Amino acid sequence: MSGVLVSGGILAGITWGLGLIGGHGAGLFFGMMFILPWWCLQAFEAYLPIPKGQLNTLKIAWSHAHDIRYLGGLFLLTALTDFYIILVNPEYHLAVFCSKPTGILGSLAKAQSPLLHIAIGYGFLRLRPWSFFVYLTYSCFGLLNAIVNFTCFGFGRIRTVFFISLIAFTAYVIWRKHCFIEKH
């Protein structure tokens, strides 16, 4: 129990510090990437009939691809966030390959993000092989779009975090691709 409190305190302190240094977004990003998985692991360990410690819990979670399912949950959360941003900022136009389409094309450009996040999130939660390929296609589009937008618009804090995190997520998902199994 004391290990849980100590590690939780350390993570909360890092989150608070990042929030002071990089703003609320940096703290929130760290929380989503580290504190939420840590909390989910604690809940999973409490769910196990006879928990035998954190290391055993990690092995069980890893062997059942709960990390990929967690990413699926993050995709669903991101879809909700995207929908919210679209609804409260209808005048915002998404940058797609150095252009900011308006009208119907602009609406379609904005709508593709939450819709694909829902599809990928659902597929990751169910460990469906098609979701791996949809994710790879979407991440390739995202990387190319980010590179082109860097050349047109230059450095941007959100664009940079998106680019770096997309590379890290894609490498991780490719590394864990064997988790996506065909259900018969």
d(CA 89, CA 103): 14
Domain spans, the chain: 1-62, 65-184
pTM: 0.77
Number of Cβ atoms within 10 Å of the Cβ of 153 = 11
Give every CB contact of residue 38 below 8 A, 6+ residues apart in sequence.
Answer: 7, 8, 11
pLDDT per position as a tens digit, 17-30 = 878 887 777 777 77
- Whether the per-residue pLDDT at 33 is higher than 50: the answer is yes
Mean pLDDT computed over every residue of the chain: 83
d(CA 47, CA 68): 19
pLDDT per position as a tens digit, 36-91 = 777 676 666 666 666 566 567 778 778 888 889 888 988 998 899 889 988 898 88
**How does DSSP assign 108-170, residue by residue?**
HHHHHHHHHHHHHHHHHHTT-HHHHHHHHHHHHHHHHHHHHHHHHH---HHHHHHHHHHHHHH
pLDDT at 184: 45
Termini Cα distance of the chain: 41
Give every CB contact of residue 55 below 8 A, 6+ residues apart in sequence.
Answer: none
pLDDT per position as a tens digit, 121-151 = 999 999 999 999 999 999 999 999 999 988 8
pLDDT at 3: 63
Is 42 or 110 the better-scoring residue by pLDDT? 110
Q: How many residues does the chain have?
A: 184
